[in-house]
Amino acid sequence: MRAGRPGHIFACTGKTERECFDRMLFASGKLYGDRVLAVKKGDPLFLLNLDTDTIHGAFLAESDGKKDIEPEAWGGRYPYQVRVARDGATISAKNAKKILAKMEVSWRDSLTPEAAGALLSYMKDPNGKISSFKHEEEKPRLESTTLWDYPRQSYGKTPKGDNKYAGVTPAFAIYNMVKRYTEPGDLVLDPMAGSGTTLDVCNEEGRKCRAFDVNPVRPEIVQNDARKIPLPDSSVDMVFIDSPYGDNIDYNDQPANIGRISAETDEFYDELEKVMAECNRVMKPGKVIGWVIGDQWVKKKFTPVGFRVYERLARHFEPVDVICLARRGQSSNTQLWHGRALRFNFYLRGFKYLFIMRKPDGAASESRKKVSWTQYPR
């Protein structure tokens, strides 16, 4: 193993391991594609079989990480690939999860040169000691449920958007959408960009971004009304939008600001639907839009803004899922307001919706991978 090079762990299953060795090719799907693209020729590599809990090593990258080195491999399911060579005799160690747990590292993260060397040494001599290589996470976790709850608006060492901006978008929600539904180099659109959270996430994750707003606060955000997006038809790979929830926040005094219209009126939803139609126009078929919206409780009156927005979205898109975004940073999250809610018998807004919808594409729907589910008795 070459000193001073970061290491990388690739995952496989009982069904895919043989092909990894036959082709001497390690690979990943688009969810971890950016990690594969970070691999450079000469980096030490390991292969973790998730089914048998066995880790194999060490190998060396014979190429930089690329997309579609062998497009037909694994039936095209894992397009982000790197060619590999054995670095001496291959060593296999069982109980891989325990080994990585002792090191306090995840197979999803790159290994420091020291951690890569320590892992190989421990595989050679499991009776030896191993140090912790725990480091502060710079990325939020990828969510696997429909409840997303993070303690802060941003993440990492560089800020994403401005957490003092009224109605600032939670950066972790954009990160999850970008990682799940786009690939490096894809174009993401945010037609109501606010403080630019989507821009910052996309820049860090290697995605292109076009950001517009009726009242831009940064040079990278172009002034524009979201009801008329200056992009060609079918040109965008994903849309993320955190729209006004009504006239509850005084965003700006621009005449085109939809946030000056009350969510208690049909006009509010009519204008948002014009935005939805434009998003549909510029999106490529089969691509996804994420729409953040919250309900309203003003002057003892509840308005189910989320349900009404979903109803309009369903006219233009196919549903993918509904996510609940826990609200932590809003100004009402204080002991004073919690006390008022109990005293006067009302509820503070504890969550926002993230509606994930897809632009219809018959061909894409038919070719979507079929999943075989195990049925369990009650």
Higher pLDDT, residue 358 or 155? 358
Per-residue pLDDT for 372 more than 90?
no
Name the nearest CA neighbour of 329 among 96, 83, 161.
Answer: 161
Per-residue pLDDT for 373 more than 70?
no
CA 165 – CA 194 distance, rounded (Å): 8
Mind listing the pLDDT tens digit for each residue in 255-269? 888 989 999 999 999
Cβ atoms of residues 155 and 171 within 8 Å:
yes
* pLDDT attached to residue 252: 77
Per-residue pLDDT for 364 more than 60?
no
In the predicted model, what is the mean pLDDT of residues 4-30?
A: 95
Per-residue pLDDT for 247 more than 90?
no
* pLDDT attached to residue 75: 96
* pLDDT attached to residue 137: 65
Q: What is the mean pLDDT of the chain?
A: 91
Beta-strand (E) ranges in the chain?
Answer: 8-12, 25-28, 44-49, 54-61, 66-67, 80-94, 147-148, 187-190, 208-213, 222-223, 236-242, 283-293, 296-298, 301-303, 318-326, 351-358
Higher pLDDT, residue 46 or 299? 46
* pLDDT attached to residue 3: 63
In the predicted model, what is the mean pLDDT of residues 60-86?
A: 97
Per-residue pLDDT for 119 more than 80?
yes
Per-residue pLDDT for 319 more than 70?
yes
* pLDDT attached to residue 371: 60
* pLDDT attached to residue 341: 85
The model's confidence at residue 365, banded by pLDDT at 50, 70 and 90, is very low
In the predicted model, what is the mean pLDDT of residues 219-241?
A: 97
Per-residue pLDDT for 14 more than 50?
yes
The model's confidence at residue 250, banded by pLDDT at 50, 70 and 90, is confident
The pTM is what? 0.83
* pLDDT attached to residue 366: 44
% of the chain surpassing 90 pLDDT? 68
Backbone φ and ψ for 28, nearest 5 degrees, come out as: -150, 160
The model's confidence at residue 328, banded by pLDDT at 50, 70 and 90, is confident
Per-residue pLDDT for 367 more than 60?
no
Q: Which residues of 20-55 are buried (b: 16+ CB within 10 A; e: fewer)?
A: bbebebbbbebebbbbbbebeeebbbbbbbeeeebb
CA 292 – CA 306 distance, rounded (Å): 9
In the predicted model, what is the mean pLDDT of residues 144-166?
A: 88
* pLDDT attached to residue 332: 64
